[in-house]
A and B are shown apart, each in its own frame.
Chain A
Amino acid sequence: MAASIYRSGSGGTAALGTAELSILRWRVTPVAQLNEFRNSKSGPTPIREASFTDCLVELDLDFDFANNPLQSPVGIAIGAVLNNAKLCLHQSVAGALDGPAWSFTALVVDSTPQELLVDGKITTRVTARPSGSFGGPG
């Protein structure tokens, strides 16, 4: 096993294609649908089998007044399809969009709640689910 390397989240980001987003935080929750079998032969504990895989994606954006993320060209609106989404864990240099990353062929936007703190930030949370294939950091 290789020597351990740990990094902070400061080199992380997210992008749609090559358009980098102003990320405050992102979270990916991959899940597998588990089918349960409880019958006269399964014994006292259920037998489970994984079938479909899915993922819940949350992006917290710093609202950019010069480039409203909810409007074109970024266009993160509810129901919108975001192609080629990439969530980077650590870039080699700012804006490079390289390094290990979660990648999604397409994300369908589920909700875009926005929160404002008068003595804090304006945060737009985007929740989305993948449509098609996705992969974790390689």
Chain B
Amino acid sequence: MPTTDPITQASQALLTALKSSAAVAALIAAGNIVDMTSAQFVNFRSQCQNSDYPLLVLLQKDFELKPFGVNSTVASINQSFALLVLHDPTRPPMANTIKFAVLAALLNAGSSLGLDGLVRDFLITSAADDIEPASGQKQRPAGRWSSVLTIKVSMDVSRQSLLQG
């Protein structure tokens, strides 16, 4: 069985892609990109200062585990990640600028996000801008203009490697 959890690997690959993008860096400070897979991750910041905005958080959402995957030799994992961007409520929202920067960052990471042999493909399946926290996002600070992008990552893991565990 693989020693490293592939879903965490994909999450970290997405964050690496975002942090290494000049376009994203120009809009969001590296310290304001929150890694929920980090040991230091506790929760959203309850009291945000102006310098904390825009704040980017990558959350894990729906997933699909297919023991009998897309071909006869693999098990497949489809993991969705919600990328939330919280904005300074006193300033005009930068939603479109940030969305475009995220698209460029992920494109630069390539279709495997740098994880050849694990990630087959990814796509941004749906996205939304909203003023109020969306349902199911109760932890989000209220009243911020939030952008949500859903990134669906398709992964393949060798069935043989899973059986050996």
Residues of A whose CB lies within 8 Å of any CB of B are 8, 10-14, 20-24, 61-62, 65-66, 93-95, 121
Contact = CB atoms under 8 A, between A and B. Distances in A.
A93 B75 CA distance: 13
B32 interface: no
Contacts of A23: 71-73
A68 to B, nearest CB: 14
A121 to B, nearest CB: 8
What DSSP secondary structure best describes chain B's contact surface?
loop
Given A94-B159, A94-B163, A95-B160, A13 B72 contact: yes
Contacts of A95: 73, 159-160, 163
Contacts of B70: 24, 62, 121
9 contacts: A11-B68, A13-B72, A20-B72, A21-B72, A23-B71, A24-B72, A62-B70, A94-B160, A95-B159
A74 B144 CA distance: 57
B72 A66 contact: no
Interface in B70-85: 70-74
Contacts of B117: 66
B116 to A, nearest CB: 8
A48 to B, nearest CB: 38
A85 B68 CA distance: 22
B54 to A, nearest CB: 30
A123 to B, nearest CB: 10
Contacts of B160: 94-95
Contacts of B68: 8, 10-11
Nearest to A62: B71
Nearest to B163: A94
Contacts of A8: 68
A20 B74 CA distance: 11
A130 B163 CA distance: 33
A135 B162 CA distance: 32
A66 to B, nearest CB: 7
A5 to B, nearest CB: 17
A20 B163 contact: no
Given A22-B71, A24-B71, 6 more contacts: A12-B72, A13-B72, A21-B73, A62-B70, A65-B116, A121-B70
B121 to A, nearest CB: 9
Question: Which of B71, B116, B117, B159 counts the most chain A CB atoms within 10 A?
Answer: B71
A60 to B, nearest CB: 9
Contacts of A12: 72
B20 to A, nearest CB: 24
A133 B74 CA distance: 31
Looking at A14, A22, A93, A121, which has the most chain B CB atoms within 10 Å of its CB? A22
